[in-house]
Amino acid sequence: MASSCSFTSPLCTWLVAACMSFTCGSRDPHQPPSVLRRYTNNKREGLSAARRRKLSAKCGVGGEVVNGSLVSSFSGSSHSIQSLMASCLPFEPCNEYYSSVSSLGFFGDNGFSSFFGSNNSTATLNRRQRRLRLNRVTRSGEAMAVAVQPDEEVTTKKKPHMKQKRVVVTGMGLVSPLGHEPDVFYNNLLEGVSGISEIETFDCTSFPTKIAAEIKSFSTDGWVAPKLSKRMDKFMLYLLTAGKKALADGGITEDVMNELDKSKCGVLIGSGLGGMKVFYDAIEALRISYKKMNPFCVPFATTNMGSAMLAMDLGWMGPNYSISTACATSNFCILNAANHIIRGEANVMLCGGSDAAVIPIGLGGFVACRALSQRNNDPTKASRPWDINRDGFVMGEGAGVLLLEELEHAKKRGAKIYAEFRGGSFTSDAYHMTEPHPDGKSAMSLRLNFSVQMKSLNGFGKFYFISRNR
């Protein structure tokens, strides 16, 4: 009996250490298991001390702990060792465990191989045996630790860094009270010419404000089909004319147009108020009968229809929409159009803004909110936004369009480059609908306090701008 105890005690100690430290697979020995599960029966948590002692006695079968080691008085029978494993070590051995202990030759066919199963056990247990043994272990109320091989790390391929494309201005087109050509417009600005005068389009004697920056002479000949000219709102006529002028100024001839990838050509021209004249005329016609209304009054009144009509006329199938952010509309459109090119979504973009609200409903609406200047006796000096005696702004109309292009695309076709777009930002005063913040507080506290800054760069200018929406 003594020899049996001396033999089985070291074996049990080794067996406990092996089962608790040996894990399946070729895992790094210094790496802890990735998953540790504990199956606990809550009913056993409240066991009395007496029942715990009884359970310990059953588990140890007369054994005791001496100097931190398990000293057992087993007789060496496989049944006693199996009871020990089922009660004190409630977890399953792995495949390598079976194969390793079978190579040692302990106990022969009826000994070590029968610890965890029948005598016919092979290197692996089938699914049913593992399920039954798991159920028996969890019913015993003891904790169970399972070492699982770490999952393979999922590696995601990062997209290669794409160099941002450069954006340049290759064309300009406009329709304005100071001229319909860029050179004429610019020279009038330098000379201080004002486009503000008394309104002539309609009778405004009943309004306190009788002045505006009105376009006196304008023709769509050669730019817009006569059939469309009769139905479209003026903001759309200005937009189409300025857009096509920008194409002509940028050297986009019919031959060049045929070589363009039209899926990479877009239009982003916005409007603050849209087709107010078409909508106003429809309301007046409705007073008589709906049959007198313009059938295109609804689509032609929307702000995006100008860009849509120009894109359909050119056959451009790239980004096409509009932005409406009051006085900042054009700047928002320019920055968004440039971003489409920077991201590679377009090679060419027409961008800008157009408005034509000098009509009775437009004038009356701004007068009602007391936003317009009433310097009718001195219209050329009525617009004074930074003057302490400022009494309101002055309405105006017209359109301005830029042709933006990817730098390499422009160089390839030999286009004339006016400037390079270098960046911009969107900000808001978050204070008032028409008035700026009295303390000048806004996200515009960047060091650029004006819309456009020109600098020389390799023979052509570059510009930054900040668009502020109140």
Extract the tokens encoding 116: 């965890």
pLDDT at 77: 44
- In this prediction, residue 412 carries a pLDDT of 95
- Comparing 137 with 295, which gets the higher pLDDT? 295
Q: Which of 357, 324, 354, 374 shows the shortest CA–CA distance to 214?
A: 357
User: What local confidence, expressed as pLDDT, does residue 424 receive?
Assistant: 84
Task: Pick the closest to residue 97 from 15, 170, 39 (CA basis).
Answer: 15
Q: How would residue 326 be classed by pLDDT, with cut points 50, 70 and 90? A: confident
Q: Which stretches within 382-452 are classed as H helix?
A: 407-412
Residue-level pLDDT at 106: 42
Question: pTM (2 decimals)?
Answer: 0.62
Residue 282 Rama label (left phi>0; alpha psi -120 to 50; beta)? alpha
Q: What is the pLDDT of residue 236?
A: 95
Alpha-carbon distance 398 to 158, whole Å? 47
Which tens digits make up the pLDDT trace of 118-173? 444 444 556 666 665 555 544 545 545 455 555 555 556 665 556 789 999 999 99
CA distance 59 to 84: 6
Torsion of CA 75, 81, 84, 85, to 10 degrees: 170
Q: Is 198 left (phi over 0), alpha (psi -120 to 50) or beta?
A: beta
DSSP strands (E only) in 295-411: 320-321, 348-356, 397-406
Average pLDDT over residues 423-441: 77
CA atoms within 13 A on the CB side of 203: 2
What's the pLDDT score for residue 450? Answer: 36
Give 341-397 pLDDT, tens digit per residue.
999 999 999 999 999 999 999 999 999 988 999 999 999 999 998 898 889 999 999
> Tell me, what DSSP letter sits at residue 463?
E
Give residue 228's pLDDT.
85
Identify the sign of the CA torsion 47, 51, 53, 54. Answer: negative
The sign of the torsion formed by the CA atoms of 436, 440, 443, 447 equals positive
Domain extent listing, the chain: 179-417, 422-464
CA separation, residue 299 to residues 17, 306, 315, 406 (Å): 82, 10, 19, 32
State the greatest distance between any 2 C-alpha atoms of the chain, in Å, as a whole number.
127
How far apart (Å, rounded) are the C-alpha atoms in residues 75 and 1? 7
pLDDT of residue 433: 78
241 CB-contact burial (10 Å; exposed 0-12 / middle 13-18 / buried 19+): buried
Q: Angle CA(152)–CA(158)–CA(161) in degrees, nearest 5?
A: 165
Closest CA to 169 of 421, 408, 452, 457: 421
Rounded CA gap, 80 and 15, in Å? Answer: 14
Name the residue among 430, 408, 438, 434 with its Cα closest to residue 420: 408
Span 179-417 CATH architecture: 3-Layer(aba) Sandwich (3.40)
Whether residue 285 contacts residue 293, with contact meaning beta carbons closer than 8 Å, is answered with yes
Note the residue count of the chain: 470
Q: How confident is the model at residue 291 (pLDDT cuts 50, 70, 90)?
A: very high
Least confident stretch, 5-9, 189-193, 287-291, 388-392 = 5-9
Taking the mean position of all CA atoms in its chain, how far away is CA 93? 50
Q: Note the pLDDT of residue 208.
A: 95
Query: Is the pLDDT at 260 greater than 50, yes or no?
Result: yes
Where residue 230 falls among pLDDT bands split at 50, 70, 90?
A: confident
In the structure encoding, which two tokens stand for residue 366, read together? 């701004």
Q: Of residues 383 and 59, which shows the higher confidence score?
A: 383
Give the per-residue pLDDT at 453.
36
pLDDT band of residue 90 (cuts 50, 70, 90) is very low
- pLDDT for position 56: 52
